[in-house]
Amino acid sequence: MSGKENEPSEDAIRDELRTVAAPDGDENVVAAGLVSSVTVTDGTVTVDPTLSGMEPATADTLADRMRTAVLECGGVEEVRVETDVAEPDHGTVVPGVDRIVAVASAKGGVGKTTVATQLARGLAASGERVGLFDADVYGPNTPELLDIEGPLGSTDDGRAEPVEVDSLQVVSVGLIANDEPMAWRGAMAHEAVEGLLTDAAWDVDTLVLDLPPGTGDIVLTTLQSFPVDGAVFVTTPFPTAAGDTERSTALFREEGVPVLGAVVNMAGFTCPTCGDDHAPFGSDPDLSADVLAELPIDKSLRSTEGEVPAAFRDLGDDVREALADRTTVTVPETALDLRGVPDRARIEQVRAEFGALAPGESLHLVTDTRPGDVSGALEDLASAPPRVAVEQKGSSVWALQISKTASDPAEDVTC
């Protein structure tokens, strides 16, 4: 295969890689045996490093440094450093739980616990086995809402036994001992929450996790420690509440937790005296998340006795659907790895590869910055807008699948 005129030799690439220090000791990555092969084909440099067994964060940093060093060589058009893109590592799997849905809010008092509890009941109403874990150490209100009391019992093998109520399995930090949770702080609170969550004898399809409000330590460490499949945000329509919610949802996404949607609570009421509709907190909040439900101020929505209100059965269906719709983008070995590549070179590489696709084919790539308007940047290269699927795989890793859509044969028919 003929090489490009100015492309560097494999030896020149190895020389450049000698400027990258190995993580341990004084050696460079080549001398330390961390580069297993280098190939150069038509301006594309492929480096196969030996990074297995390394901490993922160290391996990622090293791969980035290798990419940056290779790009320093003249004549390099594209670099592939063949590293695996790990699936988001959200740590501990909770025994007896198939999936976890977190209910979160940017601020307290917006109805998060009400929604979490009623969502759990809504999911259970269609036959799912559902657990409810109240992790709100600063205001564990679930016991009061469901009219249950602690302390929790324990199973024969010494695990915390969830309280069965209304076909839900419920564990709350408020059920372990009087007022103690209110006194927990920082690491102690997180350890207690983590211990109780993993120790409980769950047997459920879905666990609804009522998080404390905000994005403090407990929330972040919980998202990082447990495999949360999706989050539902509760907000009022008040503009500042919606703004706070936007910032919180961004943080969840950065942690690789899909935001399934928002519940806009206390969205207004119909006056029983005059019959007029009022919206004291405003309406149509500016949210990027899908609005799964808009709930009025209505005391019947607080009741956990009798039938589950229709609004929460619908919410359960919507959450199930949103979980099923989550985008998953695979990262094949041939994916274009753009991490560490300068912005202009990225766009050129993606345009070149996308331009070479036949209709119906896809380009897979990995980046370390949140993708912008990919479709707009490529629209002049195809007869129809490309289909772009994005999945965040980690705190700064995004996988994309960009497909060139097959043109509609009817469009090509002329007389």
Ligand X SMILES: Nc1ncnc2c1ncn2[C@@H]1O[C@H](COP(=O)(O)OP(=O)(O)OP(=O)(O)O)[C@@H](O)[C@H]1O
Residue from 182, 301, 381, 382 in contact with ligand X (CB under 6 A): 301
**Which among 40-48, 89-97, 252-260, 293-301 is the span making contact with ligand X, rule CB under 6 A?**
293-301
Q: What is the DSSP letter of 331?
A: -
By CB under 6 A, residue 315 contacts ligand X: no
By CB under 6 A, residue 114 contacts ligand X: yes
Q: Is 107 assigned a ligand-binding role in the annotation? A: yes
- Cα distances (Å, whole numbers) of residue 59 to 35, 55, 177: 12, 6, 44
By CB under 6 A, residue 181 contacts ligand X: no
**Which among 36-44, 66-74, 296-304, 367-375 is the span making contact with ligand X, rule CB under 6 A?**
296-304
Residue from 247, 302, 326, 387 in contact with ligand X (CB under 6 A): 302
Sites for ligand X among residues 44-103 (CB under 6 A): none
* Burial profile 16-50: b = 16 or more Cβ within 10 angstroms, e = fewer: bbeebeeeeeeebbbebebbeebebeebbbbbebe
Q: Please tell me the distance from the alpha carbon of residue 414 to that of residue 295, in angstroms, as a whole number.
A: 53
Q: Is 195 assigned a ligand-binding role in the annotation? A: no
* Binding pattern for the stretch 121-160 against ligand X, x by CB under 6 A and - elsewhere: ---------------x--x-x-------------------
Q: What is the DSSP letter of 71?
A: H
Q: Is 110 assigned a ligand-binding role in the annotation? A: yes
By CB under 6 A, residue 33 contacts ligand X: no
By CB under 6 A, residue 108 contacts ligand X: yes
**Least gap, CB of 400 to ligand X (angstroms):** 36
Q: Please tell me the distance from the alpha carbon of residue 335 to that of residue 347, in angstroms, as a whole number.
A: 15
DSSP 367-394: ESS----HHHHHGGGSSSPPEEEEEEEE
Nearer to ligand X, 136 or 337 (CB): 136
Q: Is 394 assigned a ligand-binding role in the annotation? A: no
Q: Is 101 assigned a ligand-binding role in the annotation? A: no
Q: Please tell me the distance from the alpha carbon of residue 195 to that of residue 139, in angstroms, as a whole number.
A: 18
Nearer to ligand X, 81 or 232 (CB): 232
The structure tokens 């766009």 sit at 347
Q: Are 348 and 97 in contact (CB under 8 A)?
A: no
Q: Are 241 and 167 in contact (CB under 8 A)?
A: no
**Least gap, CB of 136 to ligand X (angstroms):** 5
Residue from 68, 83, 113, 236 in contact with ligand X (CB under 6 A): 113
**Least gap, CB of 71 to ligand X (angstroms):** 49
Q: Are 46 and 9 in contact (CB under 8 A)?
A: no
How many chain residues touch ligand X (CB under 6 A)?
Answer: 20
* Burial profile 140-164: b = 16 or more Cβ within 10 angstroms, e = fewer: bbbbebbebebebeeeeeebbebbe
Residues in the chain: 415
By CB under 6 A, residue 213 contacts ligand X: yes
Nearer to ligand X, 48 or 298 (CB): 298
**Least gap, CB of 266 to ligand X (angstroms):** 5
Q: Please tell me the distance from the alpha carbon of residue 214 to that of residue 218, in angstroms, as a whole number.
A: 9
Per the annotation, binding residues are 106-113
- Given the rule CB under 6 A, which residues bind ligand X? 105, 108-114, 136, 139, 141, 213, 265-266, 295, 297-299, 301-302
Binding site membership for ATP: which residues? Answer: 106-113
